[in-house]
Amino acid sequence: MEKQGFQEAQRKQVSLLAPLEKKTLVWLAGRMPRWVGSDHLTLLGLAAMLAAGVCYWWSRTEPRALLIVIVCLAVNWFGDSLDGTLARVRQRQRPRYGFYVDHVVDTFSTLFLLGGLALSGYINPWIAMGLLVAYYMFSIEVYLATYTLGTFQLSYFKFSPTELRILLAIGNFYIFFRPEVTLFGRQYLLFDVGGAIGTAGMLLMLLYATFTHTRALYNAERLT
């Protein structure tokens, strides 16, 4: 397959933890055994998300499984975040393969995670489904913008998948002790509230990104 004319998109990462995360990942990559490759780490990240989904399902009858989910999220961060850094540090990059595989894996990982959460009893399944749909819609916009603008936006408004994993881990720890919160004198499941806010937030970011990128493309290809 010819690859002439292919240009790797510029990565844009401006999240809260990005500077610390980058240094940590480079440090880890420099100390990984030679037999560990990027594909191994990608598969580890996928397996961790599958395990997280299974543990969410298990938490319906065993609440302590929520704590195992936190461990799975940490393992997923390790595999999912380190695979690309390892390839760059070792100068063994495969831009098209890496981009494609990484994001197909993300698609399945999110399905595993939110599918398991929907079965946990700690969130309304419809809210979990709405969160999944919003994530997929937002992802589609990011990939289209990457192709048409040449910039891969890894974070929005100082948030990236790393910060979202941390928020989810904190939420898991909270609901292990108390799954409900009181708002305006009524009791709600914490993850119902968080899921609704997350869905609304992603849809707002989607609208913002759509407007911004449409305007940029229109100006770049303005008809005279």
- How many structural domains compose the chain? 1
Say if residues 174 and 189 touch (Cβ distance below 8 Å): no
The CATH code of the domain that includes 194 is: 1.20.120.1760
- For residue 5, being part of any structural domain is answered with no
Q: What is the pLDDT of residue 63?
A: 95
User: 188 in helix, strand or coil?
Assistant: strand
Q: What is the pLDDT of residue 214?
A: 95
What is the number of other CB atoms lying within 10 angstroms of the CB of residue 88?
14
- For residue 32, being part of any structural domain is answered with yes
Q: What is the pLDDT of residue 13?
A: 67
- The domain of 209 spans 13-220
Q: Could you tell me which of 200, 173, 139 has the C-alpha nearest to residue 70?
A: 173
- For residue 49, being part of any structural domain is answered with yes
- For residue 3, being part of any structural domain is answered with no
- For residue 7, being part of any structural domain is answered with no
Taking the alpha carbons at both ends of the chain, their separation in whole angstroms is: 37
What is the torsion angle, in degrees rounded to the nearest 10, for the CA atoms of residue 71, residue 73, residue 75 and residue 81? -160
Q: Does the global pTM surpass 0.95?
A: no
Cα separation, 37 vs 42, whole angstroms: 9
Q: What is the pLDDT of residue 201?
A: 92
- For residue 33, being part of any structural domain is answered with yes
| Chain centroid, CA 141 distance in Å | 14
User: 153 in helix, strand or coil?
Assistant: strand
Q: What is the pLDDT of residue 6?
A: 59
Residues 6 or more apart from 79 whose CB is under 8 A from it? 41, 42, 43, 44, 45, 46, 47, 48
Residues of the chain with pLDDT under 70: 1-9, 11-13, 157
| Chain centroid, CA 28 distance in Å | 20
- For residue 81, being part of any structural domain is answered with yes
- For residue 137, being part of any structural domain is answered with yes
Q: What is the pLDDT of residue 162?
A: 87
